[in-house]
Chain A
Amino acid sequence: MYNLRRFILKHHFTLLFILLEVICVLLLARSQSYHRNRLVNTTNDVVGKIYGWGSDVGEYFRLVKVNRQLAGENAWLREQLAIANDTARVAYDIRHGDTIYKYIPAKVVNSSTNQTNNYIIIDKGSIDGISRDMAVVSSDGVVGVVTDVSRHYATVLGLLHSKSFVGVRFKNNQQLGSLRWNTNDYRYGMVEDIPTHVELKKGDTVLTSSYSLIFPEDLMVGTVEELHSSSTGTLNKARIAFSTDFATLRHVYIIKNLYKLELDSLKANFMKP
C-alpha cells in the first residue's frame, strides 16, 4: 500500500495525464456514433445563448441577402398556394397536402463548414416541439437531421458530416443512391451505389427518396456535377453540388412528421429480429 502511494505520488503527472486522455478518447469515441451518447449533452442552453448573441451581431451584415432569399421563397409559396387552391377543388390528397408534415421555422445560431464533422445549432428546442431525428431543410434544399435537443436549442447533424447518410433519388430516371459527404468541400457531396447502367448528365436533379423515415419525399438535395465510373465496374459514384449553401445558412425549417409515432411503432416491429 505504501509502495502504491509512493508510486502514485512520484508519477502523478503522467498518471493524471493518462487518465484525462482516456476520458477524452472515451468521450470522443462515443460522440462518433450517429446516435450520440446522452451522458454528455452537447446542446446546452448557455452555449446556445452565447452563439445567439454572436449571430445577432453577424445578422446585420447579411440582411440584404437574407431578404432576397425570403422574398424568393415567398414568391414560390404564393405560387404553390395558387396551385393548391386549384387542385383542392378537384381532389383532396392527404399525401400532398401539408397535413402530415408541419414546418417550424428556426434561425441558425452557429454552424461550421470546415471541419471533418460539422454541426449546426438552431434556436428552437424541446419547448417548440423539436425532438431528435427530425429533418431540417432550408428554402434551397436539405440541411440535415436533429441529433440533440435542449430546452431552447437543438444541434443538427448536417450533410457536412462524415456520418451523414441520406437516401436520394435521381429525378429523371428514378434511380436510388445514397448520399455521403467525403469531399472536404462544403459545396459538394458524393452519391454512392449507383448501378453502372444508369446514365447521368451534369445538372440532373437529385431529390430525397421516399424510403427515408426522416425526410419527406422529393425534397431538393442538389444537382449532379460529374459521374465517377468505378474501375472495378460494379457501382458508380457521382459528385453532386448541394443546393443548400451551408456557408451562408441563416433560416431553416424543421419538419415535424405528425405521424411519426405511428411510423416508429411500425419500424420497431420490423426491426425486431
Chain B
Amino acid sequence: MNKTALNIIRFVVLVLAQVLMVNHIRLGGYVHPYIYVIFIMLLPIHIQDWQLLLLGFLLGLCVDLFTSTPGLHAGATTLMAFCRPALLRLVNGNQKFENIHDPNLEQLGGVWFLRYTFSMVFVHHSALFLLESFSLSLIGQVLLRILISVPVSVFLIMMFLYIFKGERKGESR
C-alpha cells in the first residue's frame, strides 16, 4: 500500500480511537492515557523536519477540536515532534539507521521500541499536563498525573503496536 495513504489512514484511525474510546477510560482522576501519539512515532525516520513539525501540530489540533481545548494537545505534540530526532539519536545510541525507513517492531525489536515509546510519551505527557494546568501552582498534581498516566499510555501503545504488527507484514508483501 502507498505510504502516504497508510499514514493518512493511521492518522484518522488513531484520532478517532483516541476521542471515541481512550478518552472515556475512567480509572480514578489521574489516569489519562493518550495513544494517538503513535502517529508521530511511526513517521518515516528520514522525514523532512518541517513536515514532522507540521504533522505534529496538525495531529494535536485535530484532537483539540474534539476535546474543546484549542492549542493544548497541539502544543504537546509539536514539542514531541521537535524532540523526536534527538530522542531517536538518544535511543539508538548514535548508531545510523541502516536499511530502516520507518520505526518498526520487526527490525528494531521490543526493547528498543519500549525505550523509544517511553521517552516520546514522557515528553508529550509532561508538556500536556503542564499546559493543561497552565500554572505551576498545581505542580504536585501535575507530577502525579504524569507519573501515573505515562506507564498506562506506554502499555496501551505497545499493545496496539503488537496487535497491528502482523497486518503490517502482510501489507508489505
Residues of A participating in the B interface, judged by any CB pair closer than 8 Å: 12-13, 16-17, 20-21, 23-32, 40, 42-44, 47, 50-51, 54, 110, 112-117, 119, 121, 148, 155, 184-186, 247
Please report the C-alpha to C-alpha distance between residue A2 and residue B60 in the assembled complex, in whole angstroms: 35
Across the interface, which residues of A come within 8 angstroms of B29, CB to CB?
114, 184-186
Interface flag for B92 (CB, 8 Å)? no
Quick check: A47 and B75 within 8 Å, CB to CB? Answer: no
Across the interface, which residues of B come within 8 angstroms of A247, CB to CB?
26
Quick check: B71 and A28 within 8 Å, CB to CB? Answer: yes
Across the interface, which residues of A come within 8 angstroms of B79, CB to CB?
17, 21
Contact of B78 among A20, A54, A185, A186 (CB under 8 A): A20
Interface size in chain B (residues, C-beta < 8 A): 34
Please report the C-alpha to C-alpha distance between residue A25 and residue B79 in the assembled complex, in whole angstroms: 12
Please report the C-alpha to C-alpha distance between residue A17 and residue B70 in the assembled complex, in whole angstroms: 17
Known: A113-B26, A247-B26. A31 touches B75 (CB 8 A): no
Of the listed residues B20, B53, B54, B68, the one surrounded by the most CB atoms of chain A closer than 10 A to its CB is B68
Across the interface, which residues of A come within 8 angstroms of B164, CB to CB?
none
Please report the C-alpha to C-alpha distance between residue A146 and residue B49 in the assembled complex, in whole angstroms: 41
Quick check: A28 and B131 within 8 Å, CB to CB? Answer: yes
Quick check: B70 and A112 within 8 Å, CB to CB? Answer: no
Quick check: A114 and B32 within 8 Å, CB to CB? Answer: yes
Across the interface, which residues of B come within 8 angstroms of A114, CB to CB?
26, 29, 31-32
Using CB atoms, name the residue of chain A closest to B78. A20
Please report the C-alpha to C-alpha distance between residue A31 and residue B24 in the assembled complex, in whole angstroms: 22
Across the interface, which residues of A come within 8 angstroms of B74, CB to CB?
20, 23-24, 27
26 contacts between A and B (CB under 8 A): A13-B53, A16-B53, A16-B54, A20-B53, A20-B78, A21-B78, A21-B79, A24-B57, A25-B131, A27-B70, A27-B74, A28-B71, A31-B69, A31-B70, A40-B70, A42-B70, A47-B66, A50-B16, A112-B24, A112-B67, A114-B26, A114-B32, A115-B69, A119-B68, A148-B68, A184-B29
Known: A17-B78, A20-B53, A115-B32. A50 touches B20 (CB 8 A): yes
Please report the C-alpha to C-alpha distance between residue A47 and residue B66 in the assembled complex, in whole angstroms: 6
Across the interface, which residues of A come within 8 angstroms of B50, CB to CB?
12-13, 16
Please report the C-alpha to C-alpha distance between residue A270 and residue B155 in the assembled complex, in whole angstroms: 57
Please report the C-alpha to C-alpha distance between residue A24 and residue B134 in the assembled complex, in whole angstroms: 12
